[in-house]
Amino acid sequence: MKSEAKVVLILFSFIAMIAGPQSPTAPSTPAVAPHVRPAFSQEQLRPPQGQDAVSPEKAEADKARWEAKMQEQQTLAQETQARGYWADPSTGLMWVGKDNGKDVTWGNAIKYCRDLRLAGYSDWRLATIDELQGIYDSSGFAAPPPRKGMDWVLAGTPKGGLFVTGNLHWSSSRVNDDRGHPTGYAWQFEFTGGRRQYEPLGYDASKRALCVRRAGE
């Protein structure tokens, strides 16, 4: 009996040692994972009515329309560049197919267009600010279909397939003071963003000349 009691006592001691406190460095796993409250309710996470995901059929149709538009613009640009000019049917203005292609001050932009000889005409001139804005095409901003994981960087362009090489194009329009007298500034147009702005006549950084004439004259 004494030997059996001793064996039982040793067994209990071994069990107690195993069931004792764990090492403070041992990781502990909670029996139940803590409840995490979502940042937004399920109601908030649902897409607003009318803004559900675009169906594959509509996405394909949008893509087809956009590709057709891009093909149409590319064809027009090729025709304009081959001809050397574009005649705007809505205004009767004839535009040179491309700008002067290098940085130029306002005075040199005026001279460039005045000296231009193209398509048998010598009456080319630097466009006014209203004429430049009149050929601005912003349709590219909403044209391309969405693509997963890609952000589109879009910019406006001039109409007619005109080829422009700089961010800003001088106009012949001077900025007047409060008495109506011309200042040392002139208006210029930014085709990438569709904005007017003005700078001193002597500035030339990224500024181009785009020439125009009145068709039929």
| Cα–chain center distance at 37 | 38
**Higher pLDDT among residues 123 and 10, named by residue:** 123
Position 140 confidence tier, pLDDT thresholds 50, 70, 90: low
Mean predicted confidence (pLDDT) in 84-95: 96
Handedness of CA 31, 34, 35, 38 (dihedral sign): negative
**Higher pLDDT among residues 192 and 116, named by residue:** 116
* Alpha-helical regions (H) of 102-157: 106-115, 129-134
pLDDT attached to residue 115: 98
**Higher pLDDT among residues 40 and 4, named by residue:** 4
- Residues 96-121 as b/e (b if ≥16 CB within 10 A, e otherwise) read bbbbbeeebbbebbbebbeebeeeee
Domains along the chain with CATH numbers: 57-214 (3.10.100)
**Higher pLDDT among residues 54 and 52, named by residue:** 54
pLDDT in tens, 42-51: 443 344 444 4
Q: Count Cβ atoms below 10 Å from residue 181 Cβ, excluding itself.
A: 8
Mean pLDDT across the chain, nearest whole number?
77
Closest CA to 117 of 93, 89, 84: 84
Phi and psi at 73, nearest 5°, equal -65, -40
